[in-house]
Chain A
Amino acid sequence: MRAVLTVVGKDTVGILACISVACAKRNVNISDVSQTILQDLFCMIMMCDISRITVPFDRFVDEMSELGKEKGLSIHVMHEDIFNAMHTI
Chain B
Amino acid sequence: MYNTRDILETITMIQDENLDIRTVTMGISLLSCIDSDIDVACKKVYDKIVTMASNLVPVCEQIEKELGIPIINKRIAVTPIAMLASACQTHKIVKFALTLEKAAAAVGVNYIGGYSALVQKGFAYGDYALIESIPEALSLTEHVCASVNIGSTKAGINMDAVAMMGKIIKKAAQATADKNCMGAAKIVVLCNAPEDNPFMAGAFHGVGEPDCVINVGVSGPGVVRAAIAKSEGLDITGIADLIKRTAFKITRMGQLVAREASKRLGVPFGIVDLSLAPTPAVGDSVAHILEEMGLEVCGACGTTAALAMLNDAVKKGGVMASSHVGGLSGAFIPVSEDAGMIAAAKCGALSIEKLEAMTAVCSVGLDMINIPGDTPDEVISAIIADEAAIGMVNSKTTAVRVIPAIGKKVGEELSFGGLFGSAPVMKVSTASPKKFIQRGGRIPAPLQSLKN
Contacts and interface: CB of A to CB of B under 8 A. Distances in A.
Interface of A: 4, 6, 8, 32, 34, 36, 38, 43, 45, 47, 57-58, 61, 76-83, 85-87
B336 interface: no
A45 B4 contact: yes
Q: Which 3 A-B residue pairings sit nearest by Cβ, starting from the closest?
A: A78-B68, A58-B65, A85-B256
12 contacts: A4-B2, A6-B7, A6-B11, A43-B8, A47-B1, A76-B68, A78-B10, A79-B68, A82-B68, A82-B69, A83-B7, A85-B252
Interface residues of B, number: 22
Interface in B33-70: 62, 65-69
A42 to B, nearest CB: 12
Contacts of B4: 34, 36, 43, 45
B3 interface: yes
Given A6-B8, A58-B65, A77-B68, 18 more contacts: A4-B2, A8-B8, A43-B8, A45-B7, A57-B66, A58-B66, A61-B66, A76-B15, A78-B10, A78-B67, A79-B66, A79-B67, A81-B256, A81-B260, A82-B10, A82-B67, A82-B69, A86-B253
Contacts of A34: 1, 4
Contacts of A79: 66-68
A47 B254 CA distance: 23
| Interface of chain B, main secondary structure | helix
B64 to A, nearest CB: 9
Contacts of B252: 85-86
A36 B3 CA distance: 12
Interface of B: 1-4, 6-8, 10-11, 15, 62, 65-69, 249, 252-253, 255-256, 260
Contacts of A36: 4
Nearest to A57: B66
B1 A32 contact: yes
B56 to A, nearest CB: 18
Contacts of B255: 85
Contacts of A82: 10, 67-69, 253, 256
A43 B69 CA distance: 21
A43 to B, nearest CB: 7
Contacts of B256: 81-82, 85
